[in-house]
Amino acid sequence: MQLLRWAWCLCTVGQVVHTLPEGEPVTGVTLLADEVYVLRWKVCDQVEVYDVINCRLQRRLNMPDIRGFVDMTSCEHYRCVYIADHIDDYVHRLDAQGEVARWAVNDKPWGISVNAAHNVLVTCIDVRKIKEFSSRGDLLRELALPDAVIHPRHAIQTRNGEFIVSHGRTTDTVHRVCKVTADGDIIQSHGGQRGSDIGQYNVPIHLAVDDNGLVFVVDVFNRRVTLLSPTLDYIRQVVSRDDLKWLPRRLCLDIHRRRLYVADNEMKDDYFTTGHVVVLSV
C-alpha cells in the first residue's frame, strides 16, 4: 500500500502550467479559501491575491507597520494569513476580513508554518529554536534544536508530532533536511556537505509536506525542488533549473489540486531584485 500511495511521484516530474506576473521579489506564497496569496518585498500593497483556478489577480492588500518580509503561511481553520517580519522580529496576522494584528517573536524569525493544532510554528535562525504560538500570539512552547542544526531555515510539524527541519546558510559546511523528535533529537536526515549531487544541497531553504508525508525541498543555488520520502530518502527531482528562470526561494503545495507554487527570484549583487511565481502540476 505504501508503494501504491507513492506511485504517482515515482513517475511524475512537475509540469509548468502557469506563471504569475513578474514584479518585486516574492518572499512568500500560500493558499487560503481557493485563492493564492503572494507576498512581495515592497513598501505598500505587499500581498497580491490571485484566483486559484485561472491565476487572475483579484486584489492587493496593504500590510501596515511591517518592514521585513521573509516568509508567509496560512490557516484555513482561522481563515488568516501569517507573515514573518525578520527585521522587527514580529509575526503579522491578516484575517479574511482584512483585520491586521501582530505579536513579538523576541528572536529573528525565518521560516513559518502552521501545525495540525492550528498553531503557528516560527523557526528562529540565530538561536536554533522552533517557537509555537497560538493564532493570537500566545507563546505555547519552545523547542531547542540540536547543535548540529546550524541556522535552521524552515520547520514543519508532522501529524505524529515530529518536525522536518531544513538548515544551512551559504557560509555553512553542512546543508541538510532533518527529522527531529518532539524532544529535539535528530532521528533521520538527508544531505550533508554542501554540494550539487543528488544527496547534497546548496541552501535548502523551504519545505512542504503532503498528506502522505512526502517532503518537497527548495534547494536554492542548485535551482531545483527535491522530493523525499517520509523517511527522508531521495525519490526524485520534481522541479529542475529548466523550469525556473532564476532562483527558487519559497514554495506552497496545493494538496487537493496537486499543484506546486514556487517563488522564483532574480539575484543581482547579492540582492533579490525581481520575482514571480511558477505554478507546476505535480
Q: What's the rounded Cα separation, in Å, for the pair 31 and 154?
A: 18
Contact 168, 203 (CB under 8 A): yes
pLDDT of residue 208: 98
Task: Assess whether pLDDT exceeds 50 at residue 98.
Answer: yes
Q: What's the rounded Cα separation, in Å, for the pair 134 and 8?
A: 35
User: Could you say which DSSP state residue 21 is in?
Assistant: P
* pLDDT tens readout for residues 187-200: 999 999 999 999 99
Q: What's the rounded Cα separation, in Å, for the pair 85 and 261?
A: 21
Mean pLDDT of the chain: 94
Query: Domains, the chain, ranges and CATH?
Result: 27-144 (2.120.10.30), 171-282 (2.120.10.30)
* pLDDT tens readout for residues 231-262: 999 999 999 999 999 999 999 999 999 999 99
Q: What's the rounded Cα separation, in Å, for the pair 226 and 231?
A: 14
Q: Where residue 12 falls among pLDDT bands split at 50, 70, 90? A: low
* pLDDT tens readout for residues 105-131: 999 999 999 999 999 999 999 999 999
The three cell numbers of residue 193 are: 556537505
Residues of the chain with pLDDT > 90: what percent? 92
Q: State the DSSP H helix or E strand holding residue 275, giving kind and residue range, or none if neither.
A: strand 271-281
Q: What's the rounded Cα separation, in Å, for the pair 28 and 129?
A: 21
pLDDT of residue 217: 98
